[in-house]
Every structure is written in C-alpha cells, then in structure tokens.
Copies of this chain bind each other. A is one copy, B any other.
Amino acid sequence: MFLYEKNFELQKAKALENLKVALEKDLVDKDIISLLKKINSLENYFTTSSCSGRISVMQMPDFGDKLNAVWLGKWHREVELEEVLEAIGKHSEGMLWFMLHSPILHISAKTLEDAVGLLNLAISCGFKHSNIKSISHKKLVVEIRSTERMDVPLGMNGELWVSEDYLRKVVEIANLQLRRAKEKLRKLENEIERLLKA
C-alpha cells in the first residue's frame, strides 16, 4: 500500500509556510485566496497550487513547445477587447493563441477517503473534470478543474489571421465562460465553509 499518510502533517506545515510566502509576495490570485484558506483550515487537506481561471494571449515559438511559450497577456478576470489587442500587438514570431483556462487547484489529502470525498464535492459544484491526479508514497493529490476552455489560433510569425470583429466575439465568449467558472469557485467555497461549520 501507499504511504502518503505518513508525512502529511510535516508536508502540510511546509505547504502552509510556502503559501504564506507566496501571499506576502502577492503571487496568489486574489479571488481564490479565501477559498485556499478555507481548504487549509480543514484538518485533512492542504493546497499546493492554484489558478483561479484565466484568459491569456500566448506566443509559442515552435508548435506545441509550451516550455518556451511567452505570455503576451494574462488575466485572472474578465478582459476588455483593447487589452487583448494590445497583447496581440506584441506578437512577433511563432504561433499566436488566445486561450481560456478553467480554474485549477491541487490539493493534498490525508487519506484516500478524504481524497474521494473532496473529489465528489468538487464534481457536485460543477468541476466536472476533477480527478485524483497522482498517488505515490509521497503524496495523494486531488485536482479540481472544470470544463471551460478555449484554444483559438490567432496567427503566426507576426501575421494575424482574424478580424477585430472576430476577436470581439471571442473575448465576449471567453468572459462568459470565465464568469461561469468563477461562480463554481464561489459555490465550492460555500460548500467548504459548510464542512468547516459542521
């Protein structure tokens, strides 16, 4: 059997310390901080990483080469067309993408039962792509994520393939999807709060 339970307390203390430093350095998405704090208040869980959902414009030097990708614009909130156009203006080479990503949280659980409990809670809040991301002797990680997603190719090597009108529509759809995803985060936070009070 797996031994992830063994070092849980030690790892949790370390993770909370890391989170404290990240908060001091202003590295955590504002609209997810209170959710992280609530999850960390639950005895058998701690958060290890998170993103509250984002809209972005990305330049990828070679196809699929995410390691060398450059963010030309990244927002954890709804955006204006003008902001997206400004980011696109910085594009010079490689492939240009507009993207929307669902919120994502990685949470260590103490036992398999704890992991499955959180997984099912997340799914019930609309995070349908939630799963158990990894199990090893060192850790047991639940991934909370939703289905909202857009990956739209916009151009290549400085050339833009789409019109401003098209971008306006894409931004509108992305904002709608992001809003929906953030509502799921609030729903999850309410459910975690109920657990804390119980």
Contact = CB atoms under 8 A, between A and B. Distances in A.
B143 A2 contact: no
Interface in A128-142: 131-136
Range for the number of chain A residues in contact with chain B? 20 to 34
A74 interface: no
A161 B169 contact: yes
A132 B116 CA distance: 10
A185 B58 CA distance: 28
Contact of A149 (B1, B149, B153, B156): B149
Contacts of A143: 131
A80 interface: no
Given A131-B132, A149-B151, A151-B149, A64 B180 contact: yes
Interface of A: 1-2, 63-64, 95, 112, 115-116, 119, 131-136, 143, 149-153, 156, 161-162, 165-166, 169-170, 173, 176-177, 180
Given A63-B173, A64-B180, A152-B152, 7 more contacts: A119-B135, A131-B131, A132-B132, A132-B133, A150-B153, A153-B173, A161-B169
15 contacts: A2-B112, A63-B173, A112-B112, A115-B135, A116-B135, A116-B136, A131-B131, A150-B151, A150-B153, A152-B152, A153-B169, A153-B173, A161-B165, A161-B166, A162-B166
